Amino acid sequence: MTDTQNPPAEDPDRDARHKARMERKKEIVDARIAAAQDERGVIVITTGNGKGKSSSGFGMVVRALGHGMRTGVVQFIKGAQPTGEEMFLRRFPDECAFHVMGEGYTWETQDRARDVAKAEAAWEVARGMLRDPGIGLVLFDELNIALKLHYLDVEQVIADLRARPPMQHVVITGRGAPPALVETADTVTDMTPVKHAFQQGIKAQRGVEM
């Protein structure tokens, strides 16, 4: 977040130097765009301990919907109440197939065999989406958690991802993305916490956290 390349606010030559710098920047960006030619579906992973992993996935769903694509969502962690994104996206059943795993797991359920069965059932739904070329983008929210806890086999998941329609995009969220999945993905971002309202005694807020 540091940036020391900007001139100070009082610099009289700033406009001319700004123009020259922006011209150079435009040349570089244009050259990189021209070099990137491959058009195909990508696998995007958002992981790490910071905020914004699931919400960036839902933002990509909205982006895809705006381009007229059909989308699919499978949530691998279910909370006590439906999230705002679920309530909103369920308004568009023809555009977004929304599936939430039957019940929560890990620290809320404390029953591993049941967790595994639930995760496997959710992956079956996900696999159905991965076989449907009519779905342009799928979001597997918190899938990384199911993999991290060994509820699902990462090699099977990767095989199913690789067998999907060539133009389909996949977004996978959750802490602790396994290295093999990171290796398979095209774009990976680690959400790194800088600070969090929760640490400052602020409750989870509707519309922001849930």
Q: Which residues, numbered 9-38, are part of the site for a copy of itself (CB under 8 A)?
A: 9, 14-15, 18-19, 22-23, 25-26, 29, 32-33, 35-38
Cβ neighbours of residue 206 closer than 8 Å, sequence gap 6 or more: 84
The Cα 49–Cα 187 span in angstroms is 17
For a copy of itself, the binding residue among 103, 133, 150, 156 (CB under 8 A) is 150
The Cα 204–Cα 210 span in angstroms is 7
For a copy of itself, the binding residue among 99, 120, 127, 188 (CB under 8 A) is 188
The Cα 169–Cα 71 span in angstroms is 9
User: What SS3 state is found at 72?
Assistant: strand
For a copy of itself, the binding residue among 12, 52, 97, 155 (CB under 8 A) is 52
For residues 114-133, which are near a copy of itself according to CB under 8 A?
A: none
Size of the site for a copy of itself (CB under 8 A): 101
Q: Report yes or no: 125 and 93 within 8 Å, Cβ to Cβ.
A: no
Segment near a copy of itself (CB under 8 A), from 72-80, 123-131, 157-165, 190-198? 190-198
Segment near a copy of itself (CB under 8 A), from 72-80, 118-126, 158-166, 202-210? 202-210
For a copy of itself, the binding residue among 31, 63, 159, 163 (CB under 8 A) is 63
CB of 25 to a copy of itself, least distance (A): 4
Q: What is the DSSP string of 93-132?
A: TTTEEEEE-SS--GGGT--HHHHHHHHHHHHHHHHHHHT-
CB of 122 to a copy of itself, least distance (A): 19
Cβ count near 157 (within 10 Å): 23
Q: Is 187 in the site for a copy of itself (CB under 8 A)?
A: yes
Sign of the CA dihedral running 99, 206, 63, 191: negative
CB of 124 to a copy of itself, least distance (A): 20
- The residue assigned the tokens 């369920």 is 90
125 or 182, CB closer to a copy of itself?
A: 182
